[in-house]
Amino acid sequence: MNDERLPPDGWQTQRKLSNNARHRIINPAEVTLGQQANQCQPYPMRSFQRRIATSPTKPVAPNRLKQDFSATAPNQRWVADITYIGTGEGWLYLAVILDLYSQKVVGWSTSARLQRDLVLEALTMAIGQRPPLPGLIHHSDRGSQYASHDFQKLLRDHGIMCSMSGAGNCYDNAVAESFFATFKRERVHRCH
């Protein structure tokens, strides 16, 4: 095994080259989702701790959904969340907005940085694809991106009511959490 072939940060993965159990160390950036499941193993990512980072000076909206994820028509209730995806180049953040009636993504955005622009772009896309009806509820966690003044202003400008989960309660946004779990299982962590 050649030490100069190891990535500089120590991340490594092994890919089976043949049935006789020969292996070589490769850079994680070389691993693609299109490889056969028996030819690759996911590489270890650096640990990530999710933090609730709402500032005491930023507004917190009441929980209007109260874990009632039903809707009788489109554009009555949207849920939103942010997840992270480990790549060979670092973290990629993905923000989505789901319509609870259709369970479809109505807005999304990606960025290498976790900033308010990420959720602003996702909301702008959702508003462009599905113009809000009076009484639309946008539900999210209490993250600083959703509590930002720019995001709250965009909601108000389009007559969208803001709803936020209780502090640290992932069940209040279970639909978005479930979407991300399925998305990661079927599209991100799948290796074939």
| Domains assigned to the chain | 3-39 (no CATH), 77-188 (3.30.420.10)
pLDDT band at 50 (very low <50, low <70, confident <90, very high): low
94 three-class SS: strand
Q: What is the largest CA-CA distance in the chain?
A: 64
Confidence (pLDDT) at 189: 74
Given this model, what pLDDT does residue 68 score? 79
CA dist., res. 164 & res. 49, Å (int): 21
Q: Which pLDDT value is given to residue 28?
A: 47
User: What CA–CA distance (Å, rounded) separates 66 from 167?
Assistant: 13
